Structure 1
């Protein structure tokens, strides 16, 4: 008898057919609308495997309803949406999809940095709204990227890929991480510094650290106060790492120059969120890994993790 799995969002037909070769598949039919919590609570009672996204909260109360669940395959690098401790206690394997989205997310991070520094979104709106009347010397002037200092918080795979891109713009790259990455230092010519030094010296501060209890509100009022008034903050990691109230105040008071955000504490971000009213913020709807090729690859890796776990084989990417 085939194991039964539930997929929490409509995914590509080719991926579904691959899973059907070894599993009975039940899938939430919507692509843009997350599965309701009540539906997920009912489905988890009988399934052997769960294929989920970061939009689903796989917490203790949900996992305690799961009688047969053997694996939670998360189609994401981060897994802060899953109660790892409860899963471990229940003997449930948790997997994720690192590696496959590294280059795509680094591309988006650098693109967001450039768009924010050179006010691309603001400039496009300026033209479309009919405000462009003539060329003037200081019209929509932004910050230079070439030769600037880039501070990267979190030197993992994506951090290294971002550093590589920055070298092409002759940027001075400094970084802070839980531990030094001497191999990356030698490979890319980057420099390890403490957090305060990074914040004080950087023209661009890019947040790429995982979201954990320790990194919650890692960037708040104190940290923002250390940054240059010409500095730009970029966050493509997780919203909870940056205190949005403190960031709003810093941007509004021009204590920092601008911010580029792909992630928010609450997603989708409410349209009445004050940070959306600021002209010096470029906002994106959490699309760091959103290339066609990468998203399909993520789904494929999540599928392999799921199937191997159900076959009692060791998947490629195991969290626990």
Structure 2
């Protein structure tokens, strides 16, 4: 069996370090050193005998020319998150399988989200601004801090990240409500969440955390009215996609409701325009799309793909394989 690694060379040895390569070589032969996508496109013939492609950020888009050059390709192991921008109809038509490290990436995003939830419930953003402005500590009892006990957390969409987050919530006394039109009542009961409509979620939650994939049907779905309906001194978190929120309306709402803290790891466009008010707004905590795997965290994704490969060889069901139906709902 033959394989190749194709991805951005900045990440290759971080996602697939030597110890993982050594483990893979116990079962497969690599036809070349790891290649970048540009290197591959200059030498598509190298795919002629390849059975498996290991990839990640900066990997190839599986269009007809690439797939025609790889007649033996059986499976792609994608050591990154969403496959939305790399898979094509031709890929599905050829019956090639793919598994993704989206679940491993979800761990990092869920940890970032939990940190933002705790900071939000501690009113940390406002406390920091007040401290910087006044150079004094606010008096106890006048800090508008809810605290992380017996509060209501609203999750918008219950995909991989939200489900990882629910595992982390087991250490907290949170009531969790959720909006997800694809989830059955039976599934919600199993997850321990109460399903509500979107308007109710915003009105009742102490923290709202957005995890919705960007689809035509979800673009701009979070509107000004949702923010204005939130309770006082509440928190909004977005680690999903910036375009799910109507950003202009969000900015208007956050200007009116300075008691709402917004933790935004994603915006639209990215980065925001230099003239964007988001840079200056005191109730906005802006980070440059870092919630996903960074640093040592990226190796977790490669490790997961090696585990999936071992399961494939053993004829076992792959935990993280994506079929066409799953793909059409992905961000």
Is the contact made by 1:6 and 1:43 (CA closer than 8 Å) also made in structure 2? no
Q: CA deviation at 1:162?
A: 2.9
Q: What is the RMSD of the two structures over their aligned residues, measured on CA atoms?
A: 3.9
Query: In structure 1, which of residues 18, 26, 30 is the aligned counterpart of residue 23 of structure 2?
Result: 18
Q: Say if 1:209 and 1:76 are closer, same or farther in 2 by CA, change over 3 A.
A: farther
Q: Say if 1:98 and 1:38 are closer, same or farther in 2 by CA, change over 3 A.
A: closer
Q: Paired residue for 2:4? A: 4
Please say which of residues 170-179 and 252-261 is displaced more in the overlay: 252-261
State how far apart, in whole Å, the 1-side matches of 2:167 and 2:307 are: 30
State how far apart, in whole Å, the 1-side matches of 2:44 and 2:267 are: 28
State how far apart, in whole Å, the 2-side matches of 1:140 and 1:57 are: 52
Q: CA deviation at 1:206?
A: 0.9
Q: CA deviation at 1:117?
A: 4.1
Q: CA deviation at 1:44?
A: 5.8
Is the contact made by 2:61 and 2:85 (CA closer than 8 Å) also made in structure 1? yes
State how far apart, in whole Å, the 2-side matches of 1:170 and 1:308 are: 37
Q: Say if 1:315 and 1:249 are closer, same or farther in 2 by CA, change over 3 A.
A: same
State how far apart, in whole Å, the 2-side matches of 1:125 and 1:169 are: 27
State how far apart, in whole Å, the 2-side matches of 1:80 and 1:116 are: 31
Is 1:242 aligned to 2:242, yes or no? no
The number of residues matched between the two structures is 308
Query: In structure 1, which of residues 195, 210, 214 is the aligned counterpart of residue 213 of structure 2?
Result: 210
Q: Could you list the runs of 4 or more consecutive aligned residues of structure 1 that deviate by over 6 angstroms after TM superposition?
A: 307-314
Is 1:180 aligned to 2:184, yes or no? yes
Give the TM-score of the pair, scaled to structure 2.
0.73
Q: CA deviation at 1:285?
A: 3.4
Q: Unaligned 5+ residue runs, structure 2?
A: 324-331
Query: In structure 2, which of residues 251, 261, 265 is the aligned counterpart of residue 262 of structure 1?
Result: 265
Q: Unaligned 5+ residue runs, structure 1?
A: 29-34
Please say which of residues 286-295 and 270-279 is displaced more in the overlay: 286-295
Is the contact made by 2:214 and 2:241 (CA closer than 8 Å) also made in structure 1? yes
Structure 1 residues 47-81: Cα deviation after superposition (integer angstroms, max 9, x where no partner): 3454333x548557x55444215544322343323
